[in-house]
Amino acid sequence: MKKALTIAGSDSCGGAGIQADLKTFSANGVYGMSVITAVTAQNTQGVFAVQDIDEKIIKAQIDAVFTDIKVDAVKIGMVSRISTIEAISEKIRQYNPENLVLDPVMISKSGYSLLKPESKTALINRLIPLSSIITPNIPEAEEILNEVNNENIKIETVSEMEEAAKEIYKLGCKSVLLKGGHIKGEAVDVLFDGENIFHYSTERINTKNTHGTGCTLSSAITANLALGFEIKDAVKRAKEYITTAIKHSLDIGHGVGPTNHFY
Ligand code: PLP
C-alpha cells in the first residue's frame, strides 16, 4: 500500500487540518500518517484557541516516521510560526521525499490567522523551493506575491491567475495550482508546471458547507502523487474527489459544515 504523510494542524471538529487529510488519504486508498504542528480548538463556527507544538516534538515526529517507513508523498498544511517552518524545512531537506505538496494555509474561512504574519517570508523562502506543487487560493497567492514584490496586486481574472501562477513558480517550486474559487463567475483552477498551463473547471456547488475544502484538495493531490500519478493527473483526480466531497458535504454544527469523505 502507498503511504502518505501530512504535516499540519489538528482541527477538533474533524473537518479540516490533519483530520481532513487522514480521511482523504483513506478514501483515496492510501495509508495516512501525521505530524501535528499545532492543536486548534475549533468547530464549524470558528477557531477559539491554538497551541503550537514545540519544534523538537515536530522534528521527533518526522524522524519517527521517516526512519521507519517509506513515505511516498508528503503534504504540508498549517505551519503557524517561524520555528515550525524551520524545523520542517530542515527535516524535509534531510529526508528529501519524492513528492511534496505545500498548502500555504494562511487564514481560516472563519477569519482566524493560522499562519503568523511574520512567518510568511520563512514559508516563501524555506518551504516553497522544496515543493513539487503549491496550492494557494487567490488571497494566499496575492499575499505571497505582495510579500515578495512589496506590491499590492489583486488577481481578478483567469489571465491574471495564469500570470500569478508563473510568478509563484519562479520562487522555486516545481508547479503551482492556483485555485479560482474566489473569482467571480466560473470557478477555474490554473495549474502551471513550468512548461504548460492547464485549466480545471468544475460546476460551482451551491452550499455553505465548505469547511476543509482546501485541506481536502491538497491531501487528495498528495494521495494521487503517492499512487504514482503525474502532477496534472493527480490534480484532475483530486478535483473530481473534492467536487464529490463538497456535493455530499455535511450540514452539522451551527456554522460552516465539513466536506464528506464517506457517503
Ligand atoms: N484548521 C486547520 C488546522 C487547517 O489546517 C485549516 C486549513 O486550511 C483550516 C482550519 C481552515 O479550514 P477552512 O478555512 O476550510 O474552514
Distance 195 CA to ligand 1 centre (A): 31
**pLDDT of res. 233:** 98
**pLDDT of res. 236:** 98
Is the residue at 256 inside a domain?
A: no
Q: Give residue for cell 474566489.
A: 182
Distance 5 CA to ligand 1 centre (A): 17
Closest C-alpha residue for ligand 1 atom 15: 212
**pLDDT of res. 149:** 93
Residue 189 Cβ inside 6 Å of ligand 1? The answer reads: no
**pLDDT of res. 39:** 98
What is the radius of gyration, based on Cα positions, of the chain?
17
Residue 203's domain is classified under what CATH number? 3.40.1190.20
Residue 17 Cβ inside 6 Å of ligand 1? The answer reads: yes
Q: How far is CA 117 from the centre of its chain?
A: 18
Domains in the chain: how many in total?
1
Residue 76 Cβ inside 6 Å of ligand 1? The answer reads: no
Rounded to whole angstroms, the Cα distance separating 170 from 124 reads 11
Is the residue at 253 inside a domain?
A: no
What pTM does this model have? 0.98
pLDDT in tens, 207-229: 999 999 999 999 999 999 999 99
Closest C-alpha residue for ligand 1 atom 8: 105
* Residue 179 annotated to the active site: yes
Closest C-alpha residue for ligand 1 atom 2: 17
**pLDDT of res. 94:** 98
Q: Which of 7, 10, 11, 216 to mutate to test the pocket of ligand 1 (most atoms within 8 A of CB)?
A: 11
Q: Which domain holds residue 23?
A: 3-247
* Residue 215 annotated to the active site: yes
Rounded to whole angstroms, the Cα distance separating 74 from 223 reads 9
Is the residue at 69 inside a domain?
A: yes
Cβ atoms < 10 Å from Cβ of 48: 12
* Residue 210 annotated to the active site: yes
Is the residue at 84 inside a domain?
A: yes
Check if the beta carbon of residue 69 is closer than 8 Å to that of residue 40: no
ipTM of the complex: 0.94
Closest C-alpha residue for ligand 1 atom 5: 17
Is the residue at 255 inside a domain?
A: no
Q: Which residues of the chain have pLDDT under 50?
A: none
Is the residue at 263 inside a domain?
A: no
Distance 51 CA to ligand 1 centre (A): 15
**pLDDT of res. 197:** 98
pLDDT in tens, 95-130: 999 999 999 999 998 899 999 999 999 999 999 999
Q: Atom of ligand 1 at shortest distance to CA of 17?
A: 5
* Residue 13 annotated to the active site: no
Is the residue at 259 inside a domain?
A: no
